[in-house]
Each structure stands twice: as C-alpha cells, then as structure tokens.
Structure 1
Amino acid sequence: MSAIKKTDDSGRQVLPKNVKPIEYTLKLEPNFETFKFDGDELLELEVVEDSDFISLNTLEIDIKETILLTASGKEIKPESVKEDKEEQYTTFKFSLASSLKKGDHVKLSIKFVGELNDKMAGFYRSTYEEDGKTKYLATTQMQPIDCRRAFPCIDEPNQKARFSVTLVGDKTLTYLSNMDIKEEHFIDDTKKEVVFNTTPKMSTYLVAFIVGDLRSVESKYKFRDVPVKVYTTPGQEIKGRYAVELAAHALEYYERCFDIKYPLPKMDMVGIYDCYGGMENWGLITFDMIDLLYEKGKSTIDVEFRIAETVNHELAHQWFGNYCTLDFWDSLWLNESFATYMSWKCCDHFHPEWRIWEKFVGKSLQGALRMDSLRSSHPIEIKIKRADEVSQIFDSICYQKGPAVLRMLADWLGDANFIKGVSLYLKKHAWSNAKTSALWNALSQVSGKDVESIMKIWTECVGYPLVTVKEEDGNISIEQHRFIRAGDVRSEDDKALFPIFIGLRIENSIDNSIIVKSRSSKLSVKTGSFLKINGNTNGVYRVNYEPQRWEKLGCSASKLSVEDRIGLVADSGALSISGYIKTSTFLTLISDWKLESSYIVWDTMLSELAAVSNAWKFEDRKVINALNAATLSLVSEKFHTVGWKFSRDDSYLELKLKSLLFDAATSSEDEVIISASNKIFADYVAGDKNAIYPDVKSTIFRCVASHGGEEEFNQLLAIYKNSRSPDERSMALKSMGAFHDPNILENVLSLLLNGTVRIQDIPLPLSAMSRSKVGTEVAFKWMTRNWKTLRTILPSGFSMLNSVVNICTRGFGKMEQYRMVKNFFDGKNTMEYNRGLAQALESIKTNAAWVKRDSNDVRAWLIENKFLC
C-alpha cells in the first residue's frame, strides 16, 4: 500500500487515514550545546482500517528506536522504517502477522533526536545577548506544517488529539507548555523534569513548549480564577504590563461575545527575540518582542495600537481557530480573517477614542483592495492541495480582505445577529473542525437570511467589482465589472457577478437594504439629490462616477462621513492608476481638501500621492521635485495650524495628525523641518534622550538617513545595536534603507547576511529601499548576487522568501526593468515565491503603463498649478 495517497476525496495530498491519533505523550530534552533535542514519544492511535503500516509526518527527525504496542499488549518492532524526505513523512511497516486491525487501539513508541534549529520552525532556538553573553532559549513555531520538525505526528489540522508533554533540562530554567504544570521533580543536582497536564483535543500546529531563563508579570485584573501572565527574558517583564492587563480584559470580552468560557486553566504570553509576529498556541501565545513590550512615555501610540491589535488577534484565536478549527488550510481565512476582524472589534470596545473603524477603512480595506486588484491575486478561500502551499497565502487577502468581507456581512446582518451566529457556529463545532459552509449555515439560522448564496461568491472568487455609476432623469444606472489595477480587464477575468451592497447615501441617510446581483441595474433617486454609492465605504469594491459627480463630491466633503471621504480619495487614486480617470482628476480632488480634519483621510491622500511619486521615480527629476512641492503645498497650511509641538495631553487623534503631517513635511523636503530634524537627532545621539518625541522618532531617523552620509549611518547603526527598545531598534533598521548613497546602502545590506539582523527583520530596510530609485536598484542587485544564500537562510514557513522577492522587485517602473526581473527568474523553481514574484511583475507593468499614459497629464497639471515651470 502506498504510504501517501496522491489525493484524498478533495484532491489533497495528505497522509492515509488508516489510523487516527488519540493522544501524544511526549518527553523532550533540549541541549543548548549541541543544538539537538532528545525525544521520547508514545502515540496512541485508533486503527480505522485493516493495514500493516503507520505513516507519520517527519522532518529533520533522526529516529533511533520504534516499537509498536498492540491492543493485546505485544511489543513489535517494524520490519522497515522508510523516510521520504521530499514528502516529509516516515512509514513504519509491520509484518502481516502483526498487522493492524480495524477498531484496535495501539501505541507507537518512538525514540528520536531532533534539530534545535535556527529557522524559527518547529522546536527551535532563539538567540539573544545578556550582560555581554550569548544566551539561548528553546521555543516553538508549528504553524502551518512544522510540528513534524518537533516530533513524528499526523501534521494536519483535522487530525486532532490530546497532548501530554514533559520537558527536561536545567533546574534553574522556566518550563512552559499549553497546559499548567501537573508536577515537577529533580532528576539530579542540575536537572529537573516538568510534567504538564494533558491538553484537550487540538491540532498539531497549536502545540507549544518553551525552555529558557524567563521572568513573568501577572495581570492585576482578575479574569475569573485564570492566571494571565507575560513572560520575557529578565529585565524586560515589566514592559509586558500593558499587554497582560489588556489580555485579561480581552479574554473576559471574548467570553461575553461568544458565550463560551475560555477552556484552559491559564493564559501565558511569551516575548521571543526570534519570532515572526504572534502565534496563537492554545494557552501559550508567542510574540515577537516588538508586538508585546510597551513603555509608557517612551513607546509610540502606534506601538500601543499594534500591541493591542496583535494581542487581541491571538486571543480571539483561542476560540476561533483553537476551540473550533479549520478543516484544512484552504479555509485559513476562517482562522485569520475572523481573528483579525474580532481584534478590531475588541480594540474599538476598549478604545472608542481611536476611531478604529475609520482606520480599518483607510488601512486594512485599502490594503486588501490594492492587493486584490492584481490579476495575480487569489480568492479568500483558495484550494490547497499540498500543505506546503499554505505559507504564501498568509497575506493581505487573508488578513485584510477577509476581515473587510466580514465587516460587510456584519453590517448587513446586524452586529448582534452576526455575533450570535458566530457563537452558534463555535458551539456546534466545539473541539472539532469545520468548513466555511458551517459558518454560513449558523449565520443563516440566526438571521433568517440566505448568507451562503450572498457570501460564497465573495470568498470563492478572486477580485472585486468596479461599480460604474451614471445619472439621468432621476435614475442612476449601475454596472459592475471586475476591477484590475492595470485597467485591461479581459472576458475571462470578468465572469463573477458579485452581490453588491449598494449602501446608497442620499443626503444624510444611507439605505443598506439594496443588494444588486446582476451585471447592471437601475435605481430611482430624487432629481438633484446629493448621492454617493457605498455609504461609509462598507462594501468591498470601488466606485467610478461621471466627471460632474466627481466634482460635486469633491466640493461636498462636509456632507460625507470620514469613511466616505477615505473611500472617495482611495477610489480616485486607484482609478487614476488603471486609467478610468486622469491622474489630474485625483490631484485636483485632493488639492481642495487642505483643511481636512481627519488624520486617516490625510493618511489616505498622502498614500495615494506617494503612489504617484513612486511610479514616477524613474522619470525626470524636475517632475519628482514638483510632486514634492505639490505635497508640501497640500499639507503646509494644516501642518502649520496644528504645529509640531507634541504633548502627552494631546488626544490620540491629535497626535496621529501631528505626526503624520510632520512626516509628510519631511518627505516633501520642507527645509525648515529637515533642519530641525537634524538638530533634534544630533541632540539625541549626544545624550538627550528626551530630544525626540516618540511618535516622530521614526520620521526623524528616516529624514536624517535620507539626507545623511557615513556619520549618520554609524549613528543609526549604534542605535540599532545598543538600544534595549525593540521598537527603537526596528525604527533605526528601517530608516537605514532611506540612504541615497549606494555604498552606504551596500553596507546596510551587508548587515542582513552577517548575523547582525535577525531573519524576521530582513524586510525592514529592504522595504524602505524600495521607495527610492537608487534603493530599488541596489536592493535588486544585492538579491541577485546573494540568491543562493537567501534561498538557504529564509524560512519557507513564514513566506519570507516570497516577501523578499516581492520587495526587491516591486519598486521598478519601466518595461525594460520588468524584462530584467523576469529574465533573472526564468528557469528557476519559483514554487516558494511565485505569488510574490507575479504580484511584483504585475505592479511593474502597471506602473510603466500608468506613467506612459498619464505622463503629459501630470506634467500639465503641475505646470498649471505652478509647481513646474
């Protein structure tokens, strides 16, 4: 019998289902000198069909001994143990005489040695410096398919089991796992053994264990009798106070929302130096330090928001993902999109002053619409045949479009019905797995609406519509076609008919009852009414109007909500890229909004302006300077009105607006602000640590770099190496990509491969480099020179290679550059990064067409408005 079925009933490549896991009993002992770990596993299995083999996922596991304990108590060794390294599984073959009988419960005992690797995958080591010494801790990252690096297992989300974990090692260290400690005892004078209680049924990707020198802070707010703690390396734990108090309150909030008790006896959150974002391991969440540590008076308000959003996201997973789990990775959005949506709801609950949904429309929704306007995008729910394909879909479709679709759905159903339906879904599939259709059924049952017929298209079809609006004699006609950023929609692109939530705004009211499912439709409106489609920008689509309506909307900002204004600006910017309107139409629209009050509307205007500058960066330098002058003209009046003196008495929204306009002024070459930034930075490096207000530190670092030389590089490098603040280190590293001297940029890039920069931080300076002409050119050459090294060191589990390829190529904007990039990758196996590469190539081609089409239009507008002679 073949050990791997090439397809199951769904066409997925998975392990055979002749056995089912019941419980894993594990004992693991990491060694920080050899970077190996010893493993002793006893796996209880139920035999589902008569067979003579057991196949388990394994990767970089050296199996030393295997014994099968049969239902009758016999101990049998396998006839053969064969590993398929490419497919990442090992098959244990037994004789026919000792074959496995349906209904039997057997136990497979395996002794093995694993790699305590430095790939941030499986059971791995994290490295850090303390008191001048290099130290290590052992931690885990199993999602999506790296539990097989930690121990032999059936590494599929729907193969849930219980886990009984024991950890062995230095008696002075801290030992953590998903559950609380059952017992511990000393083995000898130096070692101890820590036994944890058995977990409930859960998926392998959620198993976690940590061994290291850690300290904790516990929440003062009591969440029932459940201890909530943050663990970090010594001296950092006090910075976890904000996160731990937030977590205790958020757990309580989610219990009320879902009407389901948090089922585990504790909640631990651990800051790890080598970690990519956050990982929702049940009862033992791991975070990158930057997403967990906060210092009041020193950290920025953006750090506060990022920690809140990340912590709330991972805690939402404790229900949506852990308690009820996706059936397979093609339903990844069920986990990630929902946790993201709930994290925004939770943030809004505790911080209404943040105006969180305005930010959602300006940041998250627009990020989704940008990605999904590419022909190389993918549906929210994408068919996954092999688990190793999943890493590339942890992207903005999953984390941004999915939540936007959920927001649209919740608006249609009503928030109370939406949450009640989600609760029903979780209760129906508790401790088990489910597919998207199960969620639709629960929501339909509660709301009485046919949710699946409306939402299935949104999750299973790629892209979204452009709604074109025409007005005549008291009627408006609406027509939908797929929106492609390049503007070249083909018939094969445009087959889906999306149910469009019209959200018709007439004067001050919005009619949310209208859903259009056809290619075209007509609506009656009162002649002369002020109208806008997609009120409050709840719908996941773009809108194009006739020129006179664009003009009316641009002059009627006071009649529009903040979300409406964000949508209007973003739509006009996107439509200019694709050629549906002239770029000058967009530039004229925003040029009249110099007194705009909302920071997120300002952020959207400046982001769309930056898209123009980015596309034009390989053009005439005089035009680039004129675009900078246009930006400065736009922000100058408001900037000087709000000022750039910062105070802790400023509200959240005031701080965001001030810091945003300060950044825009430096980016558009305001000489006064540039000079002030240089002076402030000089005072800071001279020892005045209060010289820079936290919320403009990243701007000042970037400003100094973009106008600096070798001295400034060394100063920023010293900050990066010596700062104890993860956020400040991140700012310094990111800013180093803003230098314009190619030699300095080469020095920056050398840091990425010599061990100075942690692997998860490699994209930071590269992203900054992609915004400049010289940075884009230098980064691409660096990538091509170091291609073999990058293929080796970048972990595939987080799609890091996909990200690096995309960042190092997307900044180009000419067809000859498109061909250069394409030629480099021709003939290479692009499986690990094909999405990122396809998206970058499409962006290059789109920008090249945009500049060619609207170059004269932009030049004429700049001349007419006296920014260009």
Structure 2
Amino acid sequence: MFFLSPSSLHVSAKRFSVSTVACGAFGFRHIANRLSSSPHDLKNSKYFSSTATTMSTENPASKFRLPTNVKPTHYDLTVRTDLDKLTFDGSVTVSLDVKEETKTIVMNSSKLKLGKTTAYSVGSQSDPLSSEPSFDEKEKRVSFSFPTAFPAGTQAKLSVGFAGELNGSMTGYYRSSFEEEGKTKYYSLTQFEATDARSAFPCWDEPALKATYSITMVSKANTVNISNMPAISEKLFSPNDHADLKTLFTDLNEDWKVTKFETTPLMSSYLVAFANGPFEYLESSAKMPLSGRTIPLRIYATKDLIHQAQFALDVKAKVLPLYEQVFEVEYPLPKLDTLVANDFDAGAMENWGLITGRTSALLLDPRKADLAAKKRVVVVQSHEVAHMWFGNITTMEWWDYLYLNEVIIEVFMHSSHFRAFPEFKPNSEFITLHLNRALALDAKLSSHPIEVACPDAESIGQIFDGLSYSKAASVLRMLSAYVGEDKFLKGVSLYLKAHLYANSVTNDLWAGISESTGADIISFMDNWVKKIGFPVVTVSETPEGIKVRQDRFLETGLAEGKDNETIWNIPLSILTVDHNGKPIIDRTAVLDAREKTFALDTSKIYKLNAGTNGVYRVLYEDARLSKIAAEVAKPNSVFAIEDRMGLVNDALALSKAALIKLSNALTLIDALRNEQEYLVWDGISANLSSLAAVWWEDESIRSLLDAFRISLFLPFVNKLGYEYPDSESPDISQLRTRAIEQCLAAKNQSVIDELKGRFAQYMKTGDDSVIPADLQGAIYRAVTIYDKAPTPTSRISAMIALCQSKDSVLLEETYEIALKRARDQDVVYFLSGFASNDLTKRQVVTFFQDHYEELYKRFESTFMIRYLVETTYGGLSTQKDLDEMNAFFKDKDTSKYHMGLAQSFDSIRARIAYIKHSSSDVRHWLESWKEGN
C-alpha cells in the first residue's frame, strides 16, 4: 500500500500557499463567486534451517487471533452488486481443513447481515448442519455452533449468506461517485487492507490464513466487472444456465449478468479485490524476461478520466518485466490491471492482479503535467507493481512484520538496479523521500520500533506510518550499502524463493541475506528493527584519529537513562582522501559499542556516513564542521550530492536538538550558495520552510529569514527565468520551480509581479500557455475553479490554495466546503492548507474541535483519522497550545490515533524548546548576515 503522508501534505501546503501572494484577494473573490512457481530448496542452508520454527515462536497467537481448530483452503465467493440501490449480497462457501475436533467455527465478520448458514463434512452422507450466528462486535467475529462435531483430520465446507450496504467509507466493499451529464453516479470497489475483507464477506481475515478464491460477480448487464483474475465467462443471466444463482437471488432477470473469474493462487484475504461500474479501459502488454510470456495490462477508470491514464499504464509496462528479472521469480498471474478510484483512503493498494488507487496518484494530463505529478505516478505505480512479489507472493505472517511487505520495494526502486527512470536520481532522492522523514519521526520519544506488536485492529491501523515505511526502508538501504547491492538483492531473491505463496517473519529475510553474504545479518540488524529510535554519532578528534560515541538521538537532545540503553551496529562508512585528493570510503568500520576509536589522519578532510546511507546523525566538533563547510563550498568538492544533502539535514536537526547552534547550520547553508544540484536545494528549501514555520509568530526573525531565503533563491530565478524548455533536464526544471516558490514564500515583489502578470494575461486571453505546468502550483491552480479543476493534481492545488486566503468571508466558505462538500479523501488537504496559513493555523484547531464528533464518525474506520489529527495540530508552537490540546483530548477515546496524537504532542514540545534555545542565536546571525550584505 502507498500512503500520502501528512509530512508530504505539509510540504505541499507550504509550497502551494505562496500562490495566494501572486493572485491576491481578487483571485479568491473570483473563486468564491464561481464555486458551486515452486519453492526454492534451501533446506540444507544453515541460515534457513534455523528459522524453521520462527512463525510459531517469535510471535505467538494472542487472544485477538482466530482459533486454529479449522483452516480455510478455498473460497467460492459470489457477490451481487446493485448500484441503483447501493447494496450488495451474496454467499460464500469455504473449504476447511479441520485441525481439531470441534462443534464451533469462528470467523471474521463486520457490518454484514448474515443469512442462512450450513456446514457439512466432505464425504459424509449426513445432511448439512445449520447454525445461527453469534456475533462479537468488538472483535469483529461471528461464531457458529453445530449440533455435531467435525472430526479432526477431515475436510468440511461452510456456506454463509450475507448482505451489506455500499457506503462511502472507503473501506471494505464501498461506493465511489462521479459526475456524468450533471448527475451523480456510482461504482463499487474494495479496500481490504488491513482488516476489512470481513466487512465484504465472512472470512478468515488474517494474512497467514492463505487460501485460493473463485469469485463470481453478478451485476447489471450494462456495467463492467473486474477482479484479481481474468474472467473465464460472462453471460446474461439465464434460469437454465444459472439455476444455482436463481436459488440464491430470487429476483434475477435478464437485466443482470454473471461474470466468473479464474481461481486465484494462494493469497491472503486482504489482497482479494473486485469492482463493478461503468468502467472504460486502456490496454497494453509486457513481455516477461524469465517466462517469455506476454502479460496483458489494463488500466480502468470512468469515461471522464480514462484519457489521463496512459502514463500510469506505460509505467506499469516498463517496470513489470524489470522486477521479474531482478527478483528471479516469475510473475505468477495471467494479467495485471489497475483501477483508478475517485474516492480512496490511502494512495494506492496492491491487490493481486488488480491495483487500485486514487486519481491524484495515478492520473495526469501529459500536455499539462508538471514533473512532480509524473514522479508521483512513477513512484506509486512502481511501488504497487513490486508488491505483486513482496506482500502478494510472500506475505508477512502478521501485521507486526508489515515492513517486510513494503520496504524492500522502496530500497530496490532507489537502487542502481532500478533503471526505469534514472533521470529522477532515485538513490539521491531517497534521502528526501524517506530517510529524512524517518529520522524526523523517529526522533520523538513517542516513536515505535519498526517491528511493533499490533494485536488488535486499532493498533494495526496505526502502524501504517513513516516508521513502518520510511525508517524500515532506510534501514534496509543502509544494510544494502554495507553488504553491497548485488549481494543484498541476491539475498532478497533467496528469501522470496524460500517463501513462495507462504508467509514470513523478519528472520526469514535476514536468513536470505545471510545466505548471500556469509554474514550473521540477524545479529547485525536485530536492534535496528526491534528497538525504538536511532543514534547520533558524536565525533571527537584525538592525536591518533577519531573517537566516536553513540547515543539515542531525540529532537530535543540526547536521550538519557533507560531511553539510552540501545547499542546499534552502525556502519560508519568513513570517507577520506588519498594522496591525490580523491575520495575513498572505508565500509568495514562499524561502531558496535558505546565508544570506539579509529585511526585517521585528521589533518585531511574526512566525513562519516559517506553517501548518507546510514540511519543516524553525525555530530562533529565546531572546528571540524567549519572545515566541512569550507570543503562543501568548493566547486570540485569530494562530497557527493548525497553527502551534501545529508550534511544540511543533519545540521538543521542537530540545531533543533540544541546539539549545535542554529547559526552553524545557517553558515553551512550559506556556504552552499554556488551549489547547482536540485536535490541539495530541495533539502535546503524544506529546511528553511520548516524554520519559517517554527518562528511564524516572530515577525523580526521571519522577515530576516525571508531576506536570507530570497538571497539564496532569487539568483536562480533571474538565471533560469520562468519558461520550461522541453529539452532541459528534470533537475533544472525542478530547481526553477523550487526557487520561484521560495521567493514567493518570502514575498519577493519581483516574482510576485511576474506571476500576477501571467495570471492577468491568462484571465484576459484564456491562453494558459503563459502558465507553465510546473508553475501551476504557484499561480494557476490557486485560482482554478475548484469544482472544475482539469486534473486531480490541479484540484488538490486548488483545495490547498483556497485555504491560504486572508479574506475572512472566503475562509468561512472554504471551511464549509471542507466539511460539507469535499470528498472524504480530500478533507485532509483542506486541513493541511489551513494549518500552513498563519492566519488560520489556530482557526483550524477550533474548526476541528468544533466538528470533532462529526469528523470522527466520518473517518473512524479509515487511516485518515490519524492524519487529520496530525495535520490539524502540526503547526502549533506554544505552551498554551499544548495545554489546550491536552485538555481537549483528555476525555476522548484516542485508541484509533493515539500514536499520531502522542507524536503531535512531542512535535509541539520540540518547537517550544527550539524557540526558547535558538531565537537569540538565529536573530543575531541573520542580523549580522544582513549587515554584511
């Protein structure tokens, strides 16, 4: 599954918010007026043999897990969808292996009305047994008790009828809406991860309980049915051909049709998928390198959107063969579809054979798409396609091991082997997309380990966060750099082959990489996965070299006492220079104790964490940091782009923790004025935006900081201009965009005037060629009509920009839109926009609290509730804010978002501390800088 993280929403809001400066109040008035294969044999491996019992010993079943007296092996599932009544009903027959003699069968069910239930022993001459359901609403289970026991070692079949409503919850089997000829119409689709298959049909809804599925869909004849597997037959309903269905659905006639799909491989319930609606599709194919098969590929959407789906289809065709080649495991299914959904909780979902995802993650207009939109589609579609192997063929045994599904994908997508889109510099961009995000979240006391216990449904929903995704990916990227990419990927391939169509735990992955490297990866990686937090490596120089020490890093300083007990195995990757001044890297140096010394010539330049692959910060003495800054400033610096990015991120994080002065971090940034790489400037931009958000209420510091930002970025605007030639590199295009956005954020008048002029010309002539696609986020999107935005990306831009107004009347209208008219998936964009507007940063808290009950009820079953909390309170920075927030939540049931809430508290505390210890320092440095310029 791919998530649009709250952190990315805040970044987007900061970048789009500046567009309001360009369009002015007239722009918002304008908007307001117009709004309405077979397993690999590794039995003789010393590594794999040692993990044979891990599933039963590492994480024993808890009271929240289903009984093990029976095990499902196959589902015959029939679902009828009525899009006119917005209901569904059907029947499921489950083949069971009876492991223990039992009269009682317990399975998962939620929000369903259950009908007739029967069961019988296969081979028995007795009549089927009937049972009434007994529900456990809290655990979302249903029990059936039968008068006669099913003997151990036999097979049984259980049949249950069910019915439910197609609601708009974006979970289970739900409805999505679209507009056609002025009318609202609906289609249906599924979203089952993590525990919502049970709300579509009764099942054993746990990832380890894999089974095969034969799915039959009954629907109105003028609609399209799609599922995990290809259709093997599709006919209009006939009493003669479908006598069994006439018994199940007594009101069927020739207005209905019946679609039967091929049987799936063994798979977990959360990967089952089906959808029904007036879909259209584009199609392509991919020739697979191992099997030689040609895999048909389709992307489905409604008629109004399908023309924007070609790019995502092309990405899928490009990456599918690449994964098969590198993973050395054949793609197992006969097809791969994608369905684009108007209403979707996460970013996208890896249902086996039928990827689903939201419009903004999968659609773009190639004529008007900016680079950010293209990169988003590449990342999302590539991520979900990789899941066809990781997660779908080999699945984590329980949700504690979620990261096993998610993060190997990200490591591969940002490695040198992922050659699909090298122009995006994926390894370098990983630092921004994942590493820095992970370290920011993991620096909180309220963090959690990568591998975290999540016994019940509420806790499962909360681990889909930056730690399970970005930190876990960062840890594996560090391991890959330490052992070597080729050996790492070989180990991953061995892991897959050893667990085809099965389930796995952490040590299974370590066993594969141990096999490929000959190293004890289990011991090396254990604390990185099972312990909370990450270290800061403090470097002090001695006559013989350097002494390094590790302590847990917190955003408020070094951890102490019981919070500082973990010792990590830290690959130091020490960069030095040879006699010719060329960089060399020692990848053998490991800090595996609290302190160690390493021989080094400190008279020459050196740096730890070469390539910024390590999941840690590095704290140098002030004198060494000054020498590093001097080296960074050289046009032929020995520090690679990844090193420069890491140095900037470390410096700002260390200043926030009061481990170095903020002025030292700004000095480092100032030294990078001649930097030409976009990704370095992107990191600088994000860090300076964060500083502006911390000191948003201190006008003197904010104005000085704005002047500093303009001095850094305006030269790029003047040099690169406002046009985007087709022939230029992605780096140059993105650098231009970022520079313009920063100057707008800092209220540079020349940039404001240029963009206002372009918008005025567009309004006068209707010619949008004066507004390049990459600048739409800064100007055009801010004044696009919200209801008729031409693309999903521009619609999000319009949402966020609407929230940046200084006009109280328009803001009230926008709050109303957010609450009453916005799609469920889009509410978070509005809150993010409000939270990034200085005028509404606290207003949005009042809005959230005033409507808390309504919002909670609306989003309690989705991943979104946590993000709403984090986004709403993300920009606060005073003790009064903290006290009022604590008072509001003290009597609330926070079980569905308590992790996010705790992290929000920590964030506010850290900002309070930052302002307290660094205001004088940053003001003095900025004043001195201004005087010198």
The TM-score, its normalising length taken from structure 1, stands at 0.95
Superposition map of 1:496-575 within 5 A: 496-507=566-577, 508-557=583-632, 558-575=637-654
For residue 176 of structure 1, give the secondary structure of its aligned residue in structure 2.
strand
Residue aligning to 2:350: 280
**TM-aligned CA distance change 1:73 to 1:106, over 3 Å:** farther
Contact 1:19 1:54 in 2 (8 A): yes
Residue aligning to 2:886: 822
For residue 726 of structure 2, give the secondary structure of its aligned residue in structure 1.
coil
The one-letter code of the counterpart of 1:696 is L
- How far 1:290 sits from its partner (Å)? 1.5
Of 733-742 and 544-553, deviating more is 733-742
Kindly indicate whether structure 1 or structure 2 has the higher relative contact order, using CA contacts under 8 Å at least 6 residues apart. 2
Q: Does 1:89 pair with 2:141?
A: yes
- How far 1:701 sits from its partner (Å)? 5.0
Q: Does 1:139 pair with 2:189?
A: yes
- How far 1:527 sits from its partner (Å)? 4.0
- How far 1:345 sits from its partner (Å)? 3.8
Cα separation, 2, equivalents of 1:151 and 1:231 = 24
The C-alpha deviation readout for 1:453-504, integer Å capped at 9, x for no partner, is 1111111111110001011213101011000001152211111101111010
- How far 1:63 sits from its partner (Å)? 0.7
Residue aligning to 1:644: 722
Query: Equivalent of 1:855, from 915, 919, 924?
Result: 919
Contact 1:128 1:134 in 2 (8 A): yes
Residue aligning to 2:690: 611
Residue aligning to 2:838: 773
**TM-aligned CA distance change 1:742 to 1:721, over 3 Å:** same
Contact 2:437 2:470 in 1 (8 A): yes
The one-letter code of the counterpart of 1:21 is P
For residue 453 of structure 2, give the secondary structure of its aligned residue in structure 1.
coil
**TM-aligned CA distance change 1:249 to 1:12, over 3 Å:** farther
Cα separation, 2, equivalents of 1:390 and 1:845 = 27
**TM-aligned CA distance change 1:345 to 1:757, over 3 Å:** farther
Q: Does 1:66 pair with 2:117?
A: yes
Contact 2:535 2:553 in 1 (8 A): yes
Query: Equivalent of 1:806, from 866, 870, 877?
Result: 870
Contact 2:284 2:298 in 1 (8 A): yes
Residue aligning to 1:785: 850
Q: Does 1:46 pair with 2:125?
A: no
Contact 2:285 2:294 in 1 (8 A): no
**TM-aligned CA distance change 1:50 to 1:166, over 3 Å:** same
- How far 1:346 sits from its partner (Å)? 8.3
Of 315-324 and 350-359, deviating more is 350-359
Residue aligning to 2:334: 265
For residue 768 of structure 1, give the secondary structure of its aligned residue in structure 2.
helix
The one-letter code of the counterpart of 1:352 is P
Counting aligned pairs with the same residue, the percent is 33
Query: Equivalent of 1:485, from 555, 561, 573?
Result: 555
The one-letter code of the counterpart of 1:212 is G
Cα separation, 1, equivalents of 2:497 and 2:417 = 24
Q: Does 1:764 pair with 2:829?
A: yes
Contact 2:866 2:900 in 1 (8 A): yes
**TM-aligned CA distance change 1:322 to 1:68, over 3 Å:** same
Query: Equivalent of 1:843, from 907, 925, 932?
Result: 907
The C-alpha deviation readout for 1:729-755, integer Å capped at 9, x for no partner, is 11111222222344433322221221x
The C-alpha deviation readout for 1:639-676, integer Å capped at 9, x for no partner, is 32233322222111110111111111111111011122
Cα separation, 2, equivalents of 1:453 and 1:220 = 43
Cα separation, 2, equivalents of 1:534 and 1:368 = 16
For residue 579 of structure 1, give the secondary structure of its aligned residue in structure 2.
coil
The TM-score, its normalising length taken from structure 2, stands at 0.88
The C-alpha deviation readout for 1:429-465, integer Å capped at 9, x for no partner, is 1111010100101110111011111111111111110
Contact 2:286 2:321 in 1 (8 A): no
The one-letter code of the counterpart of 1:247 is K
**TM-aligned CA distance change 1:8 to 1:575, over 3 Å:** closer
Q: Does 1:661 pair with 2:739?
A: yes
For residue 862 of structure 2, give the secondary structure of its aligned residue in structure 1.
helix
Q: Does 1:253 pair with 2:322?
A: yes
Cα separation, 1, equivalents of 2:207 and 2:191 = 15
Cα separation, 2, equivalents of 1:733 and 1:189 = 44
Superposition map of 1:307-706 within 5 A: 307-345=377-415, 348-487=418-557, 489-507=559-577, 508-557=583-632, 558-619=637-698, 621-686=699-764, 687-700=766-779
Contact 2:771 2:780 in 1 (8 A): no
Cα separation, 2, equivalents of 1:49 and 1:115 = 35
Contact 2:348 2:358 in 1 (8 A): yes
Cα separation, 2, equivalents of 1:347 and 1:632 = 38
Of 324-333 and 210-219, deviating more is 210-219
Of 603-612 and 343-352, deviating more is 343-352
The C-alpha deviation readout for 1:2-35, integer Å capped at 9, x for no partner, is xxxxx99343511111110011111111112322
- How far 1:295 sits from its partner (Å)? 2.3
Cα separation, 1, equivalents of 2:72 and 2:433 = 42
- How far 1:814 sits from its partner (Å)? 0.7
The one-letter code of the counterpart of 1:618 is E
What residue ranges of structure 1 are gaps of 5+ in the alignment? 1-6, 705-714
The C-alpha deviation readout for 1:243-277, integer Å capped at 9, x for no partner, is 21221221111111111110001010111111131
- How far 1:280 sits from its partner (Å)? 0.3
Residue aligning to 1:115: 165
Cα separation, 2, equivalents of 1:360 and 1:589 = 22
Residue aligning to 1:732: 798
Query: Equivalent of 2:810, from 744, 750, 770?
Result: 744
- How far 1:235 sits from its partner (Å)? 4.3
Q: Does 1:208 pair with 2:273?
A: yes
The one-letter code of the counterpart of 2:591 is V
Cα separation, 2, equivalents of 1:221 and 1:69 = 45
Contact 1:230 1:270 in 2 (8 A): yes
Cα separation, 2, equivalents of 1:427 and 1:309 = 25
Query: Equivalent of 1:28, from 60, 70, 79?
Result: 79
**TM-aligned CA distance change 1:347 to 1:516, over 3 Å:** closer
Cα separation, 1, equivalents of 2:127 and 2:441 = 56
Residue aligning to 2:8: none
For residue 349 of structure 1, give the secondary structure of its aligned residue in structure 2.
coil
- How far 1:615 sits from its partner (Å)? 1.0
Contact 1:810 1:841 in 2 (8 A): no
Q: Does 1:100 pair with 2:150?
A: yes
Of 202-211 and 229-238, deviating more is 229-238
- How far 1:303 sits from its partner (Å)? 1.1
Q: Does 1:753 pair with 2:819?
A: yes
The C-alpha deviation readout for 1:36-63, integer Å capped at 9, x for no partner, is 1111111111111011111111111101
Cα separation, 2, equivalents of 1:583 and 1:432 = 50
For residue 91 of structure 2, give the secondary structure of its aligned residue in structure 1.
strand
**TM-aligned CA distance change 1:47 to 1:633, over 3 Å:** same
The one-letter code of the counterpart of 2:163 is V
Aligned Cα root-mean-square deviation (Å)? 1.8
The C-alpha deviation readout for 1:752-795, integer Å capped at 9, x for no partner, is 221x2211111112223222332211110000000000111114
| Runs of 4+ displaced beyond 4 Å | 220-223
For residue 822 of structure 1, give the secondary structure of its aligned residue in structure 2.
helix
Cα separation, 1, equivalents of 2:399 and 2:173 = 21
**TM-aligned CA distance change 1:189 to 1:79, over 3 Å:** closer
**TM-aligned CA distance change 1:348 to 1:769, over 3 Å:** farther
- How far 1:169 sits from its partner (Å)? 1.1
